[in-house]
Structure 1
């Protein structure tokens, strides 16, 4: 058996989970800032609310399980779950929708499986998918219009009133469909040049959405630079989405263009902050490439031929199902071993 000879030390001090999660939170702040600038206070209010509910739900379940509450809350994983849901949910979603999503994520997708490290599915995406299926109207009619368009995004007091007091009559003055939703439903009856005249697209790709995605991309690159995440999942995720768009959707009069797939919706948030969840994702480098590419392919399929204009949650959860299979057939090589020589080279040295 061929072994690689390497001098000590073989181990390095790992970052604690709390610090890793803190970096994830900090890296997501540019995206949250962009959302607030272009779509008003909704996502910021939702994020603070979701984080508070996540910490409360986690503390309650830990207490019921007779676990040290403060010890586990300090790992910041519950805060990250709340953060991701606050970023992903519609900015003007009612408070109870956000609360159901967060509580479901913490209780059903995390604590009932044994807590951190035992959950087979991404908790935030479980909560998001649950409320999307259960409350489709609330999840599709509460997207804020970009600032400066029509009445623009609501102010802080109006946002609080809409979210927490249920003043849904005021929502119509501030909301509109997302660019992916507009393109998906209008391209069947119009040409691309006509659809792109819709106010939600603006002068670049999708008014406000491109800057939000670029902000999440910047945060994701920071995580890559810090080696909090590896490049395999985000690169294969975006590559899978790009391949499908170039293979099937080059006709913009029929299919959503690649620019919208990449810079509208939750693409960059999903690629760098959601799909890279270390617990529910594949483990080996080869497995991560397959896992990320599968999410990208499924995302395009559901966006194009499914019922939902954006489908990061469903794509991630479907690939979570396949992780045990992927890990079984792509095990990482044991440290110290290398591939045996085969063919003529092995015979000449034998």
Structure 2
């Protein structure tokens, strides 16, 4: 049977594969920056994730009686795997990325019937399962490698991921012993721990003096804001290419910025607003995860509401919740609200009232 719709009919020319390739291309600057600051582990994790994702999707499609090559050629699962790989610590054990990728493919995508039918962002499904199940491995981030006395080489990265030690027998914790500073999961996690134990105004000014945290006289957060800046530039490129819509990232960032600024004006202690904007997965989530066309609102007004909702959830989780970042949880919670958002933001049909009567 044919699906009958009213004219006029026009094809935008934006095929799924082309869109996915543009998004992957826009992520390359951030990937290179991550490799530069955090080492070859990012590249190894990305290769593992993409390989496992392609194999898992191929097997599932075969079992479902589909033609695997026709579905794999849209590069959607490649993008999902790359997003997940760039979200986890670069030197997490190999089984972390294997479990996360399988959860993303099976529980986040194929269990619903494949691309276009999934309710939640597949990469964030895999990430949240990992974060809840393996919090230690998922919060063990190495500082920028140039701060280490012995930066891990490519063989060291392979050895760390698959055996837990470098070729010289050093573990991740031993590699960071030379860092003279606070070494927690991320600057956001360090800030949350700091403010949980320091409430005096003098402590606030002490923190301001050392931009986020210092290590050997160097900004410990170095690498994080550069990665976020690379994601920002890649996202702006996608908007200019009209691959993604501007409403979601703008609404998300503006909502969070306004709430964080209001909180700062009220005297509540936390990282500065700009530090918040360029820490964690803020730009990554705003331009590359929240804009997933399948799991977000389809109406222009709905996209603004969806983006604002994500920004609100990120703010609540960062300032009031137990998790330091919260972007993944915010996006999944907002995915739940998409049908309701679309219902109340659908455009009015010409000649009909909102009730559907003439």
Q: What TM-score do the two structures reach when normalised by structure 1?
A: 0.89
- Please point out which of 223, 239, 243 is paired with 1:208: 223
* Superposition deviation, residue 203 in structure 1: 6.4
Conserved? CA contact 2:118–2:295, under 8 Å:
yes
Q: Which runs of 5+ in 2 are unaligned?
A: 1-6, 177-182, 354-358
Q: Assess, with a 3 A threshold, how the Cα gap between structure 1 residues 204 and 151 changes in structure 2: closer, same or farther.
A: closer
Partner of 1:26: 25
Q: Per-residue deviation at 1:132?
A: 0.3
- Within 2, Cα distance between the matches of 1:227 and 1:201? 43
Question: 1:173-252 to 2 correspondence within 5 Å?
Answer: 173-174=174-175, 176-177=183-184, 178-190=186-198, 191-195=203-207, 197=210, 198-199=213-214, 206-250=221-265
Q: What is the CA–CA distance in structure 1 between the aligned matches of 2:111 and 2:205, rounded to whole Å? A: 50
Deviation at 1:15, TM superposition (A): 1.1
Counterpart-to-counterpart distance in 2, 1:16 and 1:326: 26
C-alpha displacement of 1:185 = 0.7
1:1-350 aligned at under 5 Å gives the runs: 11-141=10-140, 143-151=141-149, 153-167=151-165, 170-174=171-175, 176-177=183-184, 178-190=186-198, 191-195=203-207, 197=210, 198-199=213-214, 206-250=221-265, 254-334=269-349, 337=350
Shift of 1:339: 9.5
* Cα offsets for 1:273-302 (capped at 9, x unmatched): 000000001110111101011111111111
- Distance, in Å, in 2 between the alignment partners of 1:193 and 1:148 is 28
Quick one: distance in 1 between partners of 2:50 and 2:249?
A: 25
Conserved 8 A contact 2:253-2:311: yes
For structure 1, the residue ranges without an aligned partner over 5 or more in a row are 1-7, 341-350
Query: CA shift at 1:240, angstroms?
Result: 1.2
Which whole-Å CA distance do the structure 2 matches of 1:251 and 1:92 have between them?
39
The alpha-carbon deviation at position 252 of structure 1 amounts to 7.4
Indicate if the aligned counterparts of 2:143 and 2:220 stay in contact, CA closer than 8 A.
no
Pairwise CA distance, 1:90: 1.0
Please list the CA deviations of residues 105-144 of structure 1 after superposition, one character each: whole Å capped at 9, or x if unmatched.
1001100100000000000000000010000111112x12
Deviation for aligned residue 1:150: 3.6
TM-score by length of 2: 0.87
Q: Once superposed, what is the RMSD of the aligned Cα atoms?
A: 2.2
Contact conserved, 1:145 with 1:152, CA < 8 A, in 2?
no
What is the number of residues matched between the two proteins? 330
Distance 1:290 1:205, change over 3 A: farther
- How far apart, CA to CA, are the structure 2 residues paired with 1:338 and 1:309? 49
* Shift in Å, 1:256: 2.2
CA spacing shift, 1:61–1:254, aligned 2, 3 Å: same
Secondary structure of 2:89 counterpart? coil
Q: Which residue of 2 aligns with 1:5?
A: none
Secondary structure at the aligned position of 1:13 is classed as coil
